[in-house]
């Protein structure tokens, strides 16, 4: 099995009440790939500039991530984002965004990326997402987006959503995209466009999964120390799609629910430290241990043994 992800590969400057970093490895495709790398073979697709060097490639390659579709643009600068968080860590305030080489990005997938079983379109301009979708034969695909594209490129975004199996966005974005204040109705409206699953990311409250006739939700994993929420949603998506791609067989309700669990676990490790610091030295054993803890925390009958 193999997984292709297209999205930003970036440097981030982040300030939170618990510290700051001037220039650290980041970007949606990076956080996604690191999280997914514990489950399957991952190929991130996206452009970087001359400033993206051996040190950054090594973070990815140490986790077995296949970097041949990361396009180095000579003379260019990598995508750069600067943001800060208030005391409650719930809202990111963007202070600077420099598209750099992303401004001229025209996705060209290698043959191996085109042949991936699973495709994830991280948050980029929806016409670019559609170009990538058209190049890839994946049998299962997902998409993330943001309020900017709902406001400036809604028709393109709706067309992109219609071409994927699973939408993974913040709950406020599902409401904004559909014009439905009620989340259950909004999710149903998305499914009417094409996707058979909708994941509503809810920040510290966790995430909810809507399928035809199904509903499942997990709380965020309770942590006493959260240092930097940047990349939490992308880490969630990486755990979610990584598990689904790495798993043989049908993507039925049980597997989607387990994928929600792995997404929640990867997001929780991501926020414990800045940027990719925690996930880049994580082990599969730590993931599985937290997965079992999360399962025990969400069993209705508290003292029941796990069902497996």
Sites of contact with a copy of itself (CB under 8 A) = 87-89, 175, 181-185, 188, 202, 204-206, 208, 210, 214-217, 219, 222-226, 252-254, 256-258, 261, 295, 297-304, 307-308
Nearer to a copy of itself, 153 or 217 (CB): 217
Tell me the C-alpha distance between 88 and 260, whole Å.
Answer: 24
Cα 171 to the center of its chain, rounded Å:
14
The least distance separating a copy of itself from the CB of residue 274, rounded to whole angstroms, comes to 17
Residue 106 CB, nearest distance to a copy of itself (Å)?
Answer: 39
Residue nearer to a copy of itself on the CB measure, 79 or 262: 262
Nearest to 23 by CA among 80, 98, 75, 72: 80
Whether the CB-CB separation of 81 and 52 falls below 8 Å is answered with no
Shorter beta-carbon distance to a copy of itself: residue 58 or 252: 252
**Whose Cβ is closer to a copy of itself: residue 103's or residue 297's?**
297
What are the structure tokens assigned to 168, written together?
């993974």
The least distance separating a copy of itself from the CB of residue 302, rounded to whole angstroms, comes to 4
Smallest distance from a copy of itself to CB 166, Å: 16
Shortest Å distance, C-beta 255 to a copy of itself = 8
CA of residue 138 relative to chain centroid, distance: 17
Please state, in angstroms and as integers, the Cα–Cα distance from residue 232 to each residue in 110, 207, 218, 238, 270, following that order. Answer: 28, 12, 15, 10, 6
Tell me how far, at minimum, the Cβ of 217 lies from a copy of itself, in Å: 4
DSSP string, 160-213: HHHT-SEEEEEHHHHHHHHT-SSHHHHHHHHHHHS-SEEEEE-GGG-EEEEETT
Rank residues 130 and 175 by Cβ distance to a copy of itself and give the closer one. Answer: 175
Which residues, in sequence order, are CB contacts of 211 under 8 Å at separation 6+? 191, 196, 197, 198, 253, 256
Of 88 and 155, CB closest to a copy of itself: 88
């Amino acid at each position: 099995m193999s997984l292709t992800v297209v999205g930003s590969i970036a440097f981030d400057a982040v300030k939170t009440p618990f510290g700051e970093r001037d220039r650290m490895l980041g970007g949606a495709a990076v956080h996604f790939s690191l999280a997914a790398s514990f489950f399957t073979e991952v190929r991130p697709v996206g452009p970087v500039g001359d400033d993206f060097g051996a040190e950054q490639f090594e973070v990815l390659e140490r986790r077995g991530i296949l970097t041949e579709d990361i396009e180095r643009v000579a003379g260019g600068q990598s995508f750069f984002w600067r943001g800060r968080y208030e005391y409650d860590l719930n809202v990111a305030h963007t202070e600077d965004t420099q598209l750099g080489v992303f401004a001229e990005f025209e996705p060209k997938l290698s043959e191996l990326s085109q042949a991936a079983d699973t495709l994830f379109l991280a948050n980029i301009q929806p016409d670019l997402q559609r170009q990538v979708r058209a190049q890839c034969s994946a049998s299962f695909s997902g998409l993330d987006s943001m309020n900017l594209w709902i406001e400036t490129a809604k028709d393109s975004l709706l067309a992109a959503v219609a071409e994927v199996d699973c939408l993974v966005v913040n709950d406020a974005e599902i409401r904004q995209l559909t014009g439905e204040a009620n989340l259950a109705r909004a999710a149903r409206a998305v499914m009417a466009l094409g996707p058979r699953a909708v994941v509503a990311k809810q920040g510290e409250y966790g995430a909810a999964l809507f399928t035809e006739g199904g509903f499942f939700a997990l709380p965020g994993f309770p942590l006493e120390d959260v240092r930097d929420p940047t990349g939490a949603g992308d880490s969630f998506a990486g755990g979610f799609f990584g598990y689904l791609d790495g798993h043989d067989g049908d993507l039925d309700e049980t597997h989607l629910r387990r994928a929600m669990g792995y997404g929640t676990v990867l997001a929780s490790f991501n926020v414990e430290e800045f940027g990719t610091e925690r996930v880049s030295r994580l082990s599969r054993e730590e993931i599985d241990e937290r997965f079992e803890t999360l399962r025990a925390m969400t069993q209705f009958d508290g003292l029941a043994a796990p069902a497996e």
